[in-house]
Amino acid sequence: MEHIGVGLIGTGYMGKCHTLAWANVRPVFGEGPATRLVHVAETSAELAAERAEALGFEKATGDWRQLIADPEVDVVSITTPNAFHPEMAIAALKAGKHVWCEKPMAPALADAEAMAKTARASGRVAILGYNYIQNPIIRHIGSLLDLGTIGPVNHIRLEMDEDFMASAKTPFSWKNEAAAGYGALDDFAVHPLSLITTLFGPLARVFAHMSKPYPDRPTFDGGRRTVENFDIASILFELASGIPGTLAVNRAAWGRKGRLAIQIFGSLGSILFDQERMNEVQLYTTTDECANQGFRTVLAAPPHAPYDRFVPAPGHGLGFNDLKTIECRELLNAIAGAPARVIDFDRGLQIEHAVHAMAASHEGQKWIEVGTP
């Protein structure tokens, strides 16, 4: 494939991020199909035209179904609110398009299952926006684990925190609606789950508790609306491999801006990572002589592929948007039939099963086995 035609549905935070990835993937990696930004869809024809002009797309529509019917579109980026993902992804796959859908798959498990089933039947590539697994430092952590650098792992702890819901004055948004899912579980927990399942494999069982700091929020028309889901979740889990762990997520955590922290403890050392300092990893190993034992900081550098594709100098660092460019590259690999580091709809469904088990655990106040797709 020499050219790939891109359709983009939704042009907010993630819509721009996908556009930058599509525009950068070929110059960064120096190979693969040339990208053509063909068609963009928004909630109205006017907004779509404005966004097409700003982002560099050729055509614009206020009806996403027109974009999906466009024969010049080969792949559809879906960056709309969660509730729209199932209908849009299923329609795109049925029209023969490849799909790059933002996480989570869908608020309802049955919809996520339908998405995975449709993807399987379509023969097209369908992946989810789990960009954090693409960080070269996360890949390096995977290599350290494979090499046994910290020995057998006995405990993992994860946290994901931001503060965009920390103020009681923050207005009600689509993220507070039950239609968007359980709240912090769909918004945040799925990301650490993408790391856990990539580095360690699937979860076996979970025990969860969810809460919200504010029962209602102001609306833009001067009223108040009840918050329909949860901003905070605390989870105990056990992996299928037997490793125990904890996960805490909070989108009302003042001062935390993009924390996705992971601590991995093994019999010969420990590994610490935090996405807020995404270009470094802390490594402690007992193989250092006793007097010099301590955490050492390893900075991202060209040996941590594909860092070298962005910058030849060690320690200069990548950014959040670069992770999406790597994800885009992996998507293109998958479309070309090459090995690809992606979370496709089947793997995404495993994550959805874990999320729904957590919600069921909160409801029933007991351990819940994580179902398998």
Ligand X SMILES: NC(=O)c1ccc[n+]([C@@H]2O[C@H](COP(=O)([O-])OP(=O)(O)OC[C@H]3O[C@@H](n4cnc5c(N)ncnc54)[C@H](O)[C@@H]3O)[C@@H](O)[C@H]2O)c1
Binding site for ligand X (CB under 6 A): 9-15, 41-43, 64, 79-82, 84, 102-103, 129, 131
Given the complex with ligand X, which of 9 and 150 has the nearer CB atom?
Answer: 9
Smallest distance from the beta carbon of 18 to ligand X, in angstroms? 9
Q: What's the maximum distance between 2 C-alpha atoms anywhere in the chain?
A: 67
Residues 6+ apart with CB under 8 A from 289: none
Whole-number Å distance between alpha carbons of 46 and 257:
33
Task: For ligand X, give the closer residue by CB, 95 or 240.
Answer: 95
Q: Which two tokens stand for residue 334?
A: 């998958």
Please provide the distance, in angstroms rounded to a whole number, between the alpha carbons at the two ends of the chain: 32
Tell me how far, at minimum, the Cβ of 103 lies from ligand X, in Å: 6
Nearer to ligand X by Cβ, of 103 and 140: the residue is 103
Q: What does residue 52 show for φ and ψ, rounded to 5 degrees?
A: -60, -40
Nearest distance from residue 11's CB to ligand X, in Å? 5
CB of 178 to ligand X, least distance (A): 15
Rounded CA-CA distance 130/19 in Å is: 16
Closest to ligand X by CB, 191 or 309: 191
| Nearest distance from C-beta of residue 10 to ligand X, angstroms | 3
Q: Which is nearer to ligand X, 11 or 279 (CB)?
A: 11
Which DSSP category does 241 fall into? T
Rounded Cα distance between 72 and 59, Å, is 11
Pairing between strand 3-9 and 75-78?
A: parallel
Tokens 């650098």: give the residue.
149
Minimum distance between the CB of residue 336 and ligand X, rounded to whole angstroms? 23
Q: Please, which residue, 55 or 210, has the CB nearer to ligand X? A: 55
Separation between Cα atoms, residue 161 and residue 164, nearest integer Å: 9
Is the Cβ–Cβ distance between 21 and 327 less than 8 Å?
yes
Taking CB atoms, the residue at the shortest distance from ligand X is: 12
**Rounded Cα gap, residues 212 and 204, in angstroms:** 26
CB of 134 to ligand X, least distance (A): 10
SS3 159: strand
Do 351 and 358 form a contact (C-beta atoms < 8 A)?
Answer: no
Q: Which is nearer to ligand X, 109 or 150 (CB)?
A: 109
Whichever of 14 and 252 has its CB closer to ligand X, that residue is: 14
Three-state DSSP class for 199?
A: helix
Distance in Å, CB of 191 to ligand X, minimum: 7
- Closest Cα partner for 101 from 121, 119, 122? 119
